[in-house]
A = this chain, B = another copy of it.
Amino acid sequence: MVKQDRAIRTRQTILLAAAKVFEERGYQAATISEILAAAGVTKGALYFHFPSKEHLADGVLHEQDHRLPIPDRACKVQQLVDTVVLHAYRLQTDPMVRAGVRLSLDQQAQGLDRSGPFLHWSTVGVELLEKAQAQGELLPHVVPAETADALVGAFAGVQAMSQALCNYQDLPRRVSALLRHLLPSVVVPSVLAAVDLTENRGAAVQTELETAHPLRPAPVS
């Protein structure tokens, strides 16, 4: 058990180092030697967990996909909003999430399948929108797959714009504006009126999660 804990911790250390190196250098330019130096583990340990640079990148992409616990809400539109604003909050504060998003937008990452995060988030969006639809929260014409794709694509660009203009300083404001522009064409007005789309929602959800699970370790995939 202790041994397994150590292996999990080593894996996390390596992934975090890989995330930082990928973020700084880009996928193509990053080398395993740099990741090794940043992680401070043995070559054997690194290759045991990740046999290649592509495996390291897949690991980082998978972490940013799956390390966001989604708080359960009675109103599924609010749950969708919370998922989006929490992701934005983590982008500002968590290098692993940031590196994963950058990798998925890195058009020079040859040989790396970057479709994973787009498809993963679309699936998350479709599931929540279908639940919202079943509860009567959506306007009658809404096609969940189309709306999820529009939201995921739009979010990817809004975060890239915020990064290019001010290194994520204004990300909560931009994400709030995006949601205020997209949701009126998707959500029933009476539901929308009760949904919290304000800029500080992401930080509030993060605080709520930390309070509920004060010792929660980083999820291991």
Contacts and interface: CB of A to CB of B under 8 A. Distances in A.
Count class of interface residues, chain A: 35 or more
Contact of A185 (B150, B159, B160, B181): B181
Nearest to A107: B102
Nearest to A170: B149
SS class, residues of chain A in contact with chain B: helix
Contact of A178 (B154, B162, B184): B154
A161 B152 contact: yes
A108 B108 contact: yes
A123 interface: no
Interface in A91-113: 102, 104-108
A182 interface: yes
A158 interface: yes
B181 A153 contact: no
A50 to B, nearest CB: 21
Contact of A107 (B149, B154, B163, B186): B163
Interface of A: 25-26, 28-29, 102, 104-108, 114-115, 118-119, 146-147, 149-150, 152-165, 174, 177-178, 180-186
